[in-house]
Structure 1
Amino acid sequence: MLLEPSGIGDPAYSQNMPRQPESARTARHLTASALHVWGLDEAADSAAAVVTELVSNAVRHARRDTVQVKVTRAGDRLVRIAVTDFSRDLPEPRHAAMDAVTGRGLAIVAALCDGRWGADPLRWGKTVWAELAVPEAKPDE
Structure 2
Amino acid sequence: MTLARPITHATGLPAYTETFPALPESVRKARRLVALALSAWGLEHLADDAALVTSELATNAVQHARVANFRVTVVRLAPGRVRVAVIDTRKDTVPEPHQAGPDAEHGRGLAVVTALSHTTGRDPLNWGKRIWADIEDQAV
Q: TM-score, normalised by structure 2?
A: 0.91
Which residue identity lines up with residue 41 of structure 1 in the other structure?
E
Q: Is the 8 A contact 1:79 1:134 kept in 2?
A: no
Larger Rg: 1
Q: How far did 1:100 drift?
A: 0.6
Query: For residue 117 of structure 2, what is the aligned residue in structure 1?
Result: 113
SS at match of 2:113: helix
Query: For residue 14 of structure 1, what is the aligned residue in structure 2?
Result: 17
Query: For residue 93 of structure 1, what is the aligned residue in structure 2?
Result: 97
Q: State the distance in 2 between where 1:64 and 1:98 align.
A: 30
Moved segments of 4+, more than 6 Å: none
SS at match of 1:27: helix
Q: How far did 1:103 drift?
A: 0.4
Q: State the distance in 2 between where 1:15 and 1:78 align.
A: 20
Which residue identity lines up with residue 53 of structure 1 in the other structure?
E
Q: What does residue range 3-42 of structure 1 map to in structure 2 within 5 Å? A: 3-6=5-8, 9-42=12-45
Q: Describe the superposition over 1:65-95 as per-residue Cα deviations: whole angstroms up to 9, x where unpaired.
A: 1100000001111100000001112211011
Q: How far did 1:4 drift?
A: 2.1
Q: How far did 1:104 drift?
A: 0.2
Q: How far did 1:63 drift?
A: 3.4
Percent identity, aligned pairs only, is 46
SS at match of 2:52: helix
List gaps (5 residues or longer) in structure 2: none
Q: TM-score, normalised by structure 1?
A: 0.90
Number of matched residues? 136
